[in-house]
Structure 1
C-alpha cells in the first residue's frame, strides 16, 4: 500500500466519524430542546422590525 491509499482510507474514516458525530448531535439536540425554540429566530424578528419603513 502506498501513502495515497493510506490517506484515502484515513479520509474515509474521518468522514464516517464526522457523520456519526453529526447524527449524534442532531439526536441530542432534538431530544433536549423543543422544536418551537429551535425554529424561532429572535434575530430575524429584530431585523424585520428594523426594516419596516414608515412614511
Structure 2
C-alpha cells in the first residue's frame, strides 16, 4: 500500500515539475527579459493606461 502511494507521489511531483517548466518556457517566450526583471512592470502598465485615458 505505502509503495503504491510513494509511486503516486513521485508521479505527481514529476507532473508538477513538467508543468512548472512548461509555464516558465511560456512566460519566457511571451515577455522580454527586461520586463521580467523589472520590479515595476505592473506599475508601468497601470500608469500608461491611466495616461491614455487622460487622468
CA-based RMSD: 0.5
Q: What is the TM-score of this pair, normalised by structure 1?
A: 0.70
For residue 32 of structure 2, the aligned residue among 31, 34, 39 is 34
Q: What is the TM-score of this pair, normalised by structure 2?
A: 0.70
Higher RCO structure (Cα 8 Å, ≥6 apart): 2
Q: Which runs of 4+ in 1 moved over 3 A?
A: none
Task: Provide the rounded CA distance (Å) in 1 between the counterparts of 2:6 and 2:17.
Answer: 17
Question: Unaligned regions of 5+ residues in structure 1, if any?
Answer: 43-55
